[in-house]
Amino acid sequence: METIKTKSLSRSLLKGTVLNLGLQLANRNLSKNNFWQTLLVGAAGGFGDYFGGNAAMGAIIGGGNALINKTKDFGTAVKYAAIGGAADLLLKVKDAKALKPYQDEPIPITDEFLVKAQKVWFKDFPMEYVKMFTVENVTPRILNVMEYHNAHGVTQETTIKNTNTEKKYFSGKSLVSFKADAFSSARYLFYVMGHELMHVYQNILLKGEPYPDNQVDYQVLTNLKEFYAYNFQKEILGDNSKKLPPCTAEEIRESLIKYPLYNERFQYFSFDWIKTINFIYPF
Ligand SMILES: [Zn+2]
């Protein structure tokens, strides 16, 4: 694999052999001891849909394999795993450092601004799955949760119950709450909002799936969601302010093993709404 360089790869992609390559990766025997390989195969699977004939896929495959062999450093590997996607997608996120003058300008801490910003920044996000999107009507309980975790946004999944079995399932819909701190700058709100919308989308992808019936499973699933949400925030939205993600490599590996199908679904590179993300201010 290391002999495949970006250029020759993009040529083969154009010839339509990308699928083959993906299958080669996907069919590898994934032992649970090979975390990086699992991670990268997962990521590569997602790239296929979105990038098609794009050379960016070369970056992830080339970089990824080098990393499998050479590094145990989690942050670096994640960076390389996502870099193929980031390189191209960041061009689509009209982020630009030129926006810096607006960075510290106060923005109104209102639901009106929240909705307006969402419509501009994440205009193709399926908001019909968001039952609540607020900074003004956050419940005291959620405010406590945010304070406890030092979080500036929270996405709650909602469930439906089968009345015969009493079992709960993901409804696909979510409630999103923001803390006033998220409004410290337009750019910061953009990051927080994007992160939370990624969780909303994850909940859409889990629609109809059984809701974890114990705290341990819930946490394992949450770690998987956070892994993708934080990487999205960093690699696609461009937030370099935090060390991401907030879980250990061991925790992520546990999540990948327990929820391999969810891991496949959560590959954000192929999500349509990501292609039109647009950070502009003012609007
Ligand atoms: Zn999160």
Please indicate, yes or no, whether residues 145 and 253 belong to a single structural domain of this protein. Answer: yes
Ligand 1 is a single-atom ion; what residues have CB below 5 A from it? Answer: 226, 229
160 belongs to a structural domain? yes
Please indicate, yes or no, whether residues 203 and 148 belong to a single structural domain of this protein. Answer: yes
Sheet architecture: strand order including 168-178: 130-134, 168-178, 153-161
Please indicate, yes or no, whether residues 56 and 185 belong to a single structural domain of this protein. Answer: no
112/254 Cα distance (integer angstroms): 40
Query: pLDDT band at 247, cuts 50/70/90?
Result: confident
Please indicate, yes or no, whether residues 176 and 250 belong to a single structural domain of this protein. Answer: yes
- Position 103 scores a pLDDT of 56
47 alpha carbon to ligand 1 midpoint, in Å?
Answer: 22
pLDDT tens profile 32-78: 333 333 343 334 333 322 222 222 222 233 233 333 333 333 334 33
Residue 274: how many other CB atoms lie within 10 Å: 24
30 belongs to a structural domain? yes
On the question of a cis peptide bond just before residue 245, with omega within 30 degrees of 0, the verdict is yes
State which residues form the domain around 73.
6-92
Q: Cβ(71)–Cβ(249) under 8 Å?
A: no
- Of 121, 9, 119, give the one whose Cα is nearest residue 64: 9
Number of helices followed by number of strands (H, E) in the chain: 11, 3
247 belongs to a structural domain? yes
pLDDT tens profile 174-190: 999 999 999 998 989 99
Total residues found in the chain within this entry = 283
212/167 Cα distance (integer angstroms): 10
Residue that finishes a domain, picked among 58, 73, 92: 92
Q: Is the full-model pTM beyond 0.75?
A: no
pLDDT tens profile 136-153: 999 999 999 999 988 999
Q: CA–CA distance from 169 to each of 149, 201, 260 (Å)? A: 26, 16, 18
- Position 54 scores a pLDDT of 27
153 alpha carbon to ligand 1 midpoint, in Å?
Answer: 8
226 alpha carbon to ligand 1 midpoint, in Å?
Answer: 5
99 alpha carbon to ligand 1 midpoint, in Å?
Answer: 25
- Of 237, 247, 242, give the one whose Cα is nearest residue 268: 237
73 alpha carbon to ligand 1 midpoint, in Å?
Answer: 22
196 alpha carbon to ligand 1 midpoint, in Å?
Answer: 6
- Position 280 scores a pLDDT of 85
More confident: 194 or 252: 194
Tokens 């799955």 belong to residue = 129
Q: Is the pLDDT assigned to residue 195 strictly greater than 50?
A: yes
177 alpha carbon to ligand 1 midpoint, in Å?
Answer: 12
